[in-house]
Amino acid sequence: MTAVLYDYTRQDARGASTTEQAWAKVPPPLNPAERAELRDRAATLLKERDAVLVAHYYVDGDLQDLALATGGMVADSLEMARFGRDHPARTLVVAGVRFMGETAKILSPAKRVLMPDLEATCSLDLGCPPDAFAAFCDAHPDRQVVVYANTSAAVKARADWMVTSSCALAIVQHLKDQGRKVLWAPDRHLGRWIQEQTGADMLLWQGDCIVHDEFKGLELELLRREHPGALVLVHPESPRSVVAQADVVGSTTQLLEAVVKGSAQTYIVGTDKGLMHRMRQLAPGKTLLEAPTAGVSATCKSCAHCPWMAMNVLQGVVACLETGRGEVLVPEPVRSQALGCIERMLDFVKAHPGSLAAPRSGFVPNVGVA
Ligand code: 13P
Ligand code: SF4
């Protein structure tokens, strides 16, 4: 076999807490023969090691295809958590970012959870350090603490609820209906959007996603004028001026469903372009356009692709299964403290299956298209 193994020494030496470091760790593309060989090797190892591959929609298309071809799953962060918890395999290989591996481990402590690269992180997680977050919570003891899935286990250990983009709106609405005030972290755009939709009393941490924060409202308006029949699909981590123009606001799964079930021919997609792989497979005749980021004639500041998601490569899948490197460990008592807020979300979603429907419009009441 070709020796295209993942170099874990680079992982230990360099870290990947900046986007530059993350991109530097993404190896050059493989040729077709190397890709086929690694796919076969990974499939054999998954079987031999009683392992299942759980991939996020933003990772490389080869990994998504491998997950589906080997009985695994490609999903949003909520479904990844549920699938990993319920699957009987003794090892979960999580292709995504660190918080996804940690959530899998918190829910399934007896399973071995491996990641192709443990340093694949997320700007929301990085931007919400546990100590500062704990001080924020201490200062507001009267509020229910609701954290987005994109946080560390230590932050979740301080929370009453964890939510993902697919159920955040319904859960905050539920808290509001109970007369509760909310402390929200870390995504400021998602928090603001939920606040506007529900009218809940929310105190917001000011984090953001470096991918979605780059989508531009003005350029989107121009693109919509060029394609008047197009439906605009937006992930709620995007800025207000972008969300306000959306026909559908939702999680990755909800946006995918909108393309598959939608009657329009053309869709403008305001999320990481990794999702286009699955959209093209499930809606082959439809036209997909990327929502604009830096704008016409700007230098390429953003390419609508998460560098930490891009660190997940076939070589990493093979190497973690072969060597056991890249194992996610969540020490006690953090694990058991973080479990409560995740289980509360899963119980809520089970009891309210309708809560997973994507809102059809991002139009902000009393504000209009910002
Ligand atoms: P989803 O929960 O929609 O999959 O989003 C996760 C994420 O990281 C989006 O940037
Ligand atoms: Fe985090 Fe944004 Fe990457 Fe998702 S796309 S993992 S929110 S940095």
Query: Of all atoms in ligand 2, which is nearest to the CA of residue 124?
Result: 1
Question: Distance between CA atoms of 361 and 250, rounded to whole angstroms?
Answer: 10
Question: Distance between CA atoms of 114 and 103, rounded to whole angstroms?
Answer: 12
Instruction: State in Å: Cα 100 to ligand 2 middle.
Output: 11
Identify the CATH number of the domain defined by range 124-210+335-356: 3.40.50.10800
Distances (CA, A) of 137 to 131, 202, 205: 10, 13, 11
Which part of the chain is CATH 3.40.50.10800? 8-122+307-323, 124-210+335-356, 212-290
Tell me the residue ranges of DSSP E strands in the chain: 51-56, 73-75, 91-95, 112-114, 144-148, 161-163, 182-185, 202-204, 231-234, 248-249, 266-270, 287-290
Give the ligand at the shortest distance from the Cα of 162. Answer: 1
Prediction pTM value: 0.93
Site to substitute for ligand 1 among 64, 73, 76, 306, most atoms within 8 A of C-beta: 76
Instruction: State in Å: Cα 212 to ligand 2 middle.
Output: 8
Residue 48, token pair as written in the block: 């031999």
Query: Of all atoms in ligand 2, which is nearest to the CA of residue 307?
Result: 3
Instruction: State in Å: Cα 308 to ligand 2 middle.
Output: 8
- 370 residues of the chain, pLDDT tens digit each: 444 455 655 555 557 888 888 999 999 999 999 999 999 999 999 999 999 999 999 999 999 999 999 999 999 998 999 999 999 999 999 999 999 999 999 999 999 999 999 999 999 999 999 999 999 999 999 999 999 999 999 999 999 999 999 999 999 999 999 999 999 999 999 999 999 999 999 999 999 999 999 999 999 999 999 999 999 999 999 999 999 999 999 999 999 999 999 999 999 999 999 999 999 999 999 999 999 997 544 444 568 999 999 999 999 999 999 999 999 999 999 999 999 999 999 999 999 988 887 776 655 443 334 3
Q: For domain 8-122+307-323, give the CATH superfamily.
A: NadA-like (3.40.50.10800)
The domain 212-290 having CATH identifier 3.40.50.10800: the answer here is yes
Instruction: State in Å: Cα 251 to ligand 1 middle.
Output: 6
Report yes or no: 146 and 159 within 8 Å, Cβ to Cβ.
yes
